[in-house]
Amino acid sequence: MLQCLTVACWLGFQMDSGAFNPNFTLGSQTLQTKPTKLRVLPCTPTLLHPCLPKPTLLAQSACPSDVETLTSLMLRDLPDYANRVIQRSRPVNEDIDMNLYIIVAGRAEFQPLTLGPGSYNSVTTANVEPPQQVFFTTLERQYVEGGAIERESFHWLFLTNTDSGWRLALMFTRLGSPSPERPPTPPRESSDGIMGRAVQLWLRDCRADAIRASYR
């Protein structure tokens, strides 16, 4: 029967209205075949033929509407975004040190601070929500001659939820010092700095629903 099926492949199947006809003529005989149902056998790994891992689909979700969920996802990804900003900015901006790496971002807080006069003037209309204040820290490592030093920096975000999604309105940063005797620097506007650009890039991807919902 196997030889007959092989010959039939070369002679051509009889087709009717584009459908496969299991009956075909070989010489003066009409052979009838029944379709075979394929079975998927479980993989049994061996030393020479290990089983391939099953493909894993990374779930993506819409950009969260609440600031706490948004911040949790952002801080998870922010070190990778910031390190890419550092790598891409080096040929253009010689002031950015290629030996600086952002290790982790975390310790988010959402209790807003009272703003002094002239610190931030938001447009107060019925259609515009006040900006959401987010505080978080980053642990940074810098490789210098003779070893590596680590410091903790502090960031203060103002996020606005517009009709097109979340956007960065303003950002301040206090750079930490490796020495515990030295206090962090005074706050300075950092929307165009490394972390500010990283936040803006992440929010752009979030508005495009290109952010992974969670790690597996």
Alpha carbons within 13 angstroms on the beta-carbon side of residue 156 total: 15
Query: Is the domain of 14 the same as that of 105?
Result: no
Query: Is the domain of 89 the same as that of 164?
Result: yes
Please determine, for residue 71, whether its predicted confidence score (pLDDT) is greater than 50.
Answer: yes
Average pLDDT over residues 161-180: 89
Query: Which residues are registered as beta bridge partners of 31?
Result: 24
CA distances from 174 to 2, 96, 136, 166, 189 (A): 77, 17, 11, 23, 9
Query: Is the domain of 66 the same as that of 28?
Result: no
Is residue 120, in this structure, part of any structural domain at all?
A: no
Range of the domain at 28: 2-32
Query: Is the domain of 165 the same as that of 72?
Result: yes
pLDDT at 51: 64
Question: Could you tell me where the DSSP H helices lie in the chain?
Answer: 2-11, 67-89, 194-207
| Tokens linked to 108 | 């988010």
Query: Which residues are registered as beta bridge partners of 150?
Result: 141
Contact 82, 195 (CB under 8 A): yes
Length of the chain: 216
pLDDT at 54: 54
Is residue 138, in this structure, part of any structural domain at all?
A: yes
195, exposed or middle or buried, with CB in 10 Å at 0-12, 13-18, 19+? buried
Distance separating alpha carbons of residues 54 and 83, to the nearest angstrom: 31
Contact 174, 185 (CB under 8 A): yes
Contact 48, 173 (CB under 8 A): no
How many domains are there within the chain?
A: 2
Query: Is the domain of 28 the same as that of 69?
Result: no
Contact residues for 151 (Cβ-Cβ < 8 A; gap 6+): 139, 140, 142, 175, 176, 177, 178
Is residue 68, in this structure, part of any structural domain at all?
A: yes
Query: Is the domain of 194 the same as that of 93?
Result: yes
Please determine, for residue 120, whether its predicted confidence score (pLDDT) is greater than 60.
Answer: no
| Tokens linked to 216 | 């597996």
Query: Is the domain of 73 the same as that of 7?
Result: no
Distance separating alpha carbons of residues 54 and 211, to the nearest angstrom: 22
Query: Is the domain of 89 the same as that of 19?
Result: no
| pTM of full prediction above 0.75 | no
Is residue 184, in this structure, part of any structural domain at all?
A: yes
Highest mean predicted confidence (pLDDT) among 129-138, 139-148, 175-184: 129-138
Query: Is the domain of 102 the same as that of 198?
Result: yes
Q: Tell me which of 11 and 166 has the higher pLDDT.
A: 166
Is residue 45, in this structure, part of any structural domain at all?
A: no
Type of residue found at 49:
H
Query: Is the domain of 25 the same as that of 69?
Result: no
What is the share, in percent, of the chain residues with pLDDT greater than 90? 38
Is residue 41, in this structure, part of any structural domain at all?
A: no
Query: Is the domain of 27 the same as that of 66?
Result: no
